Amino acid sequence: MQKFLVLFLLITFSFANEIKQIDLTQAKWEYKWGDSPFENDIPLWTNDKENDSSWQKIDFPSNPENRNNQTNVWYRVKLPDVLPNDPNLYIVSIDLITQVYFENRQIYHFGEFNNEGKGEYKGWPWHLIKLPNDSAGKYIYFRIFSDYGDIGFFGEIKISSKGDLYEQMLQFDIPKIMVGSVSIFVSVLFLLTFLSKFKRLELSILGLMFLTQGLNVLFSAKILEIYFHYPLFKQYILAIAFFFFPIGMALFMDKTINGKVPFNLIKRIWQIHLIYLIGAIFGSLLGFFSLPSTYECFDIFYNFITLPILTFFMIYFFFKGNKETKIITFSFFIISIYWLYSSLIAAALVPWEEYPSDIAVFICLLLLSYSMVNKLNYTQELEEAKAELTILSSTDYLTKLDNRKNIDSVLKINENMYKRYKDNFSVILLDIDDFKKVNDNYGHLVGDNVLIEFAKILTKYTRQTDIVGRWGGEEFIIICPKTNLEETLILAQKLREKIASHNFGIVGTKTASIGVTTFRENDTITELLSRVDDALYLAKLKGKNRVEMEV
């Protein structure tokens, strides 16, 4: 039992003292400008002694002093005497390509060096370098080429086991993967909504912003590189997303905020950035310049021109605008702070750290979506009100039939169809017999009910192609397309019978006098209406409750 307890304590003590992770940024780094001579593929600088004065000390292996247009630099660092189990060196990023040496042999490379010690840009992936088991307490060397503004390392440099590194990546990247995926899904909804109706340009802008920023967040998830290792392709996607955001921001403000801007500055900003995006991507693809160089120009223009101008207008419109404008400007203000902070990190003005960019982007886009949905709801209400007004302007308020204004339009259309295609059409004019007595004896409310019932009979017993309207007072008109005089007379007689047999409640039965005519060669609408009116007068004259025609 005593032996077991001692063994347990030894095991516990060994696990407690096991090194999980080493922050190599705190180690003693050294650098040397230029490129090492090689002999039998062995860089001679890897044989330098520990206290060689040609190696200069540096706090962090990036951008040493007195660069003077140098494109090559070597860094070296002495590893700790004790390393974690399964030691792997993790580096967030290196500008731009590198080779790593241990005891005169190459243990890692990213990119290809030519005979002049130079190479082409291949992207900005993170690097995981398996350290030899006997590397504790010894130097490792980094050969680096960069024609970019930065030369050397960026971000974390640490030693840990591969399992621990992957676990940390996964914990930090799960929110990124979720936010990126949701953003892309939402972007598809916005873009499909826009394409289905080709309305509301703001929907397409918002959809593209969700898409590009969703891709930006998703592709910044480091864990995905384990399964999808195409660093240069990834960097082009990230560049498009990076360069597009000021376009989307300025374009959305330009299209949604109703406010005068001197010299159309907001419009000019998104136009210039759009030209820049197209030029930067295609120019680098065609080999006119490298992709990293486009970031340097963009950072200068964005940080010193675009961001100050947009921030000024954000603050101005926030205090001067309505509720929707306040939401839009506030959301962009959040994202601007995030961009400013990320720029300060990139410029090494604040310490590097992993920050929740996905949360800032998602909050911004959610606020923009909220403002857009409110605007769409308001627009829908306006459309519904407009449609209702359109109906009211063309419909008789009491009977819900077409009013005289709309009937005139329908008559004109049928006249044109006759002149072009010789399509016959006829007209029926009806008048309720002795309707004045209804109002006098029962009141106007009862009279209104009779008119409503009368309209229902006409609608029920006419064809769907026939147009029924209220001509005025107790007179009604029916336009019968593609119908000759004989067919119209049959319809008129049918209507007369249905009306005469209908019970109008307290009023009892009522009858109608009906006039019928048809449109003829060289006719006019005025002549047509005059004839049908004469026919109706004739029906009244002959005793009412009858159908008469004028040819």
Q: What is 489-510 written as a DSSP string?
A: HHHHHHHHHHHHH-B-GGG-B-
pTM (whole model) above 0.85: no
In whole angstroms, give the CA distance from residue 79 to residue 532. 107
Can you read off the two tokens belonging to residue 392?
């009211």
State residue 346's pLDDT score. Answer: 63
CA distances from 258 to 303, 321, 335 (A): 25, 8, 21
Q: What is the mean pLDDT of each run of 10 residues along the chain (551 residues)?
A: 43 48 92 94 92 92 93 96 92 94 94 93 94 93 94 93 90 85 82 70 80 86 88 93 88 77 87 95 93 90 86 82 75 72 66 62 70 58 50 74 88 89 91 93 92 94 92 93 93 95 93 95 93 94 93 65
In whole angstroms, give the CA distance from residue 412 to residue 548. 24
State residue 214's pLDDT score. Answer: 85
In whole angstroms, give the CA distance from residue 477 to residue 406. 12
Q: Which residues contact 351 (CB under 8 A, 6 or more apart)?
A: 345
> Which residue spans within 386-451 are E strands per DSSP?
425-432
300, HSE (Cβ side, Cα atoms, 13 Å):
6
β partners of residue 516: 428, 549
Can you read off the two tokens belonging to residue 46?
């890897």
State residue 220's pLDDT score. Answer: 86
Please answer whether residues 142 and 74 qualify as being in contact, where contact means their C-beta atoms are separated by less than 8 angstroms.
yes
State residue 382's pLDDT score. Answer: 45
Q: Look at phi and psi of residue 155 and say left if phi exceeds 0, alpha if psi is from -120 to 50, else beta.
A: left
Can you read off the two tokens belonging to residue 45?
């600088």
Q: State the greatest distance between any 2 C-alpha atoms of the chain, in Å, as a whole number.
A: 131
In whole angstroms, give the CA distance from residue 247 to residue 269. 7
β partners of residue 139: 78
Phi, psi of 466 (to 5 degrees): -75, 145
> Which residue spans within 444-489 are E strands per DSSP?
467-472, 475-481
Active site residues: 474
What is the sign of the dihedral through the CA atoms of 453, 456, 460 and 463? positive
Domains of the chain, earliest start first: 20-150 (2.60.120.260), 166-385 (1.20.1070), 404-549 (3.30.70.270)
Q: Is 392 exposed, middle or buried (0-12, 13-18, 19+ CB in 10 A)?
A: exposed
State the angle between helix axes of 404-421 and 525-541 in degrees (0 to 180), rounded to the nearest 10: 120
Can you read off the two tokens belonging to residue 323?
């509720």
